[in-house]
A and B are shown apart, each in its own frame.
Chain A
Amino acid sequence: MLPMEIVIRGLHMERSQLRLGLIISSMIMVNSTLLVGTISSPARFAVPFLAFVFAGFSQYYLVRQSIERSDRNIRVFKELGASHSLLLQTLLVNVVMVGLLGSVAGFIFGVSALFVMQTTGFTAGLLENALLVFGALAGTTVGSYIGTRETLAGK
C-alpha cells in the first residue's frame, strides 16, 4: 500500500507529464513544420505557421480532455475504495496511453497536413487539418478507454 501523499503527488506528476508531452509534441511539430517548409518552399512561411496553430489547438484540447477524464476516473475509483497502488496504476496507464497516442496522432497528422498544404493547395490543407483535429480527439478517446480497460483487465 502506498501513502496518500504519493497519490496526490502522482496527480501533479501526471499533469506535469502531460505538459511535457505537449511541449515535446509542439517541438516536433515546429521542427518538422520548419524543416518541410524550408525545404519545399522557403517563401511560404504562413503555411507552416497555420499548420502549427491547428496542431497546437488540437494538442491543447487533447491534453485538457485527458486530464479531465483521468481526474474523473481517479475520483470515482477513490470514492469506491480503490487502493493507492491501483490509483497509481490507473494514473500511469492513462498518462502513457494518452501521451503516446496524442504525440503520434499530432505528429502524423501535423506533418501530413503540412505536406498536403504544400503540394495540393490551401483548401485541401484545411480539410486535412480538420482530420488532424479529429485524429487527435479520437486518439484521446481511444487512449482513455484503453487505459481504463487495460488497468481493470490487469485485476
Chain B
Amino acid sequence: MAVNYAVRLEGVSKSYGEVSAHRIFESVNIGFRDGEFVALKGPIGSGKTTLLNMVAGFLKPNTGRVIVKGIDIVRMPEKELAVFRAKTFGIVPQTQNLVPELTIAQNIELPLIFQNIPKGDRARRVQEVLQRIGIPKMGNRIVGTLSVGEREIIAIARSIALDPPIMLLDEPTEALDPVMTDMVVAFVKSDHALKKKTIIIATHDDRVVKIAHTIVQVKKRIP
C-alpha cells in the first residue's frame, strides 16, 4: 500500500554562513505520514528549529527538496508560498508571536482576517476555539496581561483557528511549569485525536515525547 506523506525531505542539506562553515544537515531523507504525530528530540542547537523552518518554507535548504502535500516548496515563489503556508500549517514558533496590545479573541482572529474569511464566520470560529481551550468568556482579555504559559496556550489556539492539516510546534512547553505543560500536552493530544492532523513538534520535554507516535532523534554535528 502506498504511503501518503504529509511532508518529505529528500536529500536536504543545510549549512549557515560560508559554504560548510556551520553544517546542520547533510543529505537528509525523511518523511512524515499524514496524521502522524512526530516528536523531534535533540539537544539545543541540534537543528530542530532549522528543520521546522525548512518544512514551513521560512528557510531554504542549500540542496534537496522539501515536499509538502505533494508540492515542492523550495522552488515555490515567495508570494505563493506565503498563501500555501497559511492554509497548510499551524505554526507555533519558539518565540511567541502574539500582539500584546490586542485581546485574546483578536489575536486568534488575525489569521482568519488574513485569509479574508467573512466577519460572521470569524466570530463563530474564534468562539469555537475559545471554547476548545476552555475560556469561552475570556476573549476580551488583553494578551499583554497574560502569563507566559497562558500566552503559549493562546498561541497554540491561534494556530488551529484555520484548522490546518499540519501543525508545527517549536518547544511549546519550554518555559512552562508542570501544570501548564500538562494543559498544552492535553490540548495537542486532543487536537490530534479529534482532527487526525499531522503534528511535528520539536521538544526535549519527555512528557511531550511520550505522547508522540514517532520520535526522531536530531543529533548535534560535531564539526
Contact = CB atoms under 8 A, between A and B. Distances in A.
Contact of B106 (A4, A73, A75, A152): A152
A1 B114 CA distance: 13
Contact of B99 (A76, A81, A84, A86): A76
Interface stretch (B5-13, B90-98, B124-132, B186-194): B90-98
Main secondary structure of the interface of B (DSSP, over half): helix
A52 to B, nearest CB: 31
Interface in B163-197: none
Given A72-B99, A152-B113, 6 more contacts: A76-B97, A76-B99, A80-B86, A80-B97, A84-B79, A149-B101
B99 A148 contact: yes
Interface residues of B, number: 20
9 contacts: A4-B79, A79-B93, A79-B97, A80-B111, A81-B87, A145-B101, A148-B101, A148-B102, A152-B113
Contact of B82 (A72, A81, A155): A81
Contacts of A152: 102, 106, 110, 113
Using C-beta atoms within 8 Å of the partner chain, give the interface range for chain A: 20 to 34
Interface in B100-124: 101-102, 106, 110-111, 113-115
Contact of B114 (A72, A83, A145, A149): A83
Interface of A: 1, 3-4, 72-73, 75-84, 86, 144-145, 148-149, 152, 155
Contacts of A144: 101
A42 B28 CA distance: 75
B78 interface: yes
Main secondary structure of the interface of A (DSSP, over half): helix
4 A-B pairs closest in CB distance: A81-B86, A82-B114, A76-B97, A145-B101
B85 interface: yes
B78 A79 contact: no
A81 B111 contact: yes
Contact of B97 (A75, A81, A84): A75
